[in-house]
Amino acid sequence: MAPPAALHHRTPLLLPRRTVALGATATARAARAASLAVRAQPDTTAAAVSTTAPEPTPEFKPPPGFKAPEPKRFEVKSGQLGSVLGASLAIPLRLGTGVFVLGYSPSLVSASEIPSDQYALEFGAWKVKEESKIGQCKRPEKPIEIYEFEGCPFCRKVREMVTVLDLDVLFYPCPKKGPTFRPKVLEMGGKKQFPYMVDPNTGVAMYESDDIIKYLADTYGDGTVPIMLSLGLLTAITAGLATLGRIGKGNSYIASKVPPQPIEIWAYEGSPFCKLVRETLVELELPHLLHSCARGSPKRQEFFKKKGLFQAPYIEDPNTGVQMFESAEIIDYLKATYALYPSS
């Protein structure tokens, strides 16, 4: 997959340049704040005003002596067990929402029924054949853009729907006190409220998790919303409880250097190992292009064909050329490469 277009360091060009199409009067501004869905329009103001040269892009390199680790399936690194268990709390509380794609259907078949060049879970002489309805759904040509942060239960709901629909999403992390993307959301939509979604394929932008979920289901699914995302207050409560195992993580900003291009990550919401990496991406305010790949995702076969195995999380960093598996090592790499004070 070709990497996304380069993003400029710490300048407005890092973000989609959009403004909400609303009038300048006080009445119109109030209407804008109440609006759930608005049309995105190009913003040419910055280009017209700016007369200075863009800030030079810093050079990013892997840490000294860096070597990508060998992938080891289901291995929990020393000292990581408590974190993995805490991140796993969401699975029973959310009844597996965020683990499977739309219409997921597994069946146990003889190993001979699935060729060795196709991805499948193996159990001795048996393999799990996994099917879904994703192939019947419309796919966005450009990644959907979502501004959010890991510790927010309303953001979690939207991320679960992203998993269900197997979407590619460009995430702009908005941790508390984050200097880059929180102000941008206020500029674009009129409120510092999360999650905030922009769909460059349709021009639609909106707040409110339930409205985003319904929009995604209607536009890129079959119109149905999973039961655990349609229970109103109960959904919000269980999504909030799901954060308790990692309370405070993925919420607050850690001073960082924003790279010119987003990091690509293959992950999905229900995986505790993926969650730990996402926390670090959010805290460091690192834009990342998520290739969602839950159970039943056709991306698993694409990845298997490319790498000869499937394991998540996996990242490709176009800023340094690093490609790597293993959540604990990915976290160490991200902090060493992008945190302003890596030893903290």
Model-level pTM greater than 0.75? yes
Give domain status of residue 93, yes or no.
yes
CB 324 within 8 A of CB 264: no
Give domain status of residue 192, yes or no.
yes
Q: What is the mean pLDDT of each run of 10 residues along the chain (344 residues)?
A: 41 38 39 38 37 54 93 89 96 97 96 93 92 96 97 96 98 97 96 97 98 98 97 96 94 95 98 98 98 98 96 97 97 96 70
CB 237 within 8 A of CB 77: no
What are the residues facing 123 on neighbouring strands? 126
**∠ at Cα 285 (281, 287), nearest 5°?**
75
Give domain status of residue 225, yes or no.
yes
Give domain status of residue 206, yes or no.
yes
pLDDT value, residue 19: 36
Residue by residue, what is the 3-state secondary structure of 296-326? CCCHHHHHHHHHCCCCCCEEEECCCCEEEEC
Radius of gyration of the chain (CA): 20
pLDDT value, residue 58: 58
Give domain status of residue 154, yes or no.
yes
**Secondary structure class of 227 (helix, strand, coil):** helix
CB 285 within 8 A of CB 258: yes
Give domain status of residue 203, yes or no.
yes
Q: Write the burial class of residue 53 (CB in 10 Å: 0-12 exposed, 13-18 middle, 19+ buried).
A: exposed
Give domain status of residue 58, yes or no.
no
Range of the domain at 170: 80-103+139-338
pLDDT value, residue 342: 75
Provide the CATH number for the domain around residue 245: 3.40.30.10
Give domain status of residue 219, yes or no.
yes
Domains of the chain: total: 1
Number of Cβ atoms within 10 Å of the Cβ of 267: 24
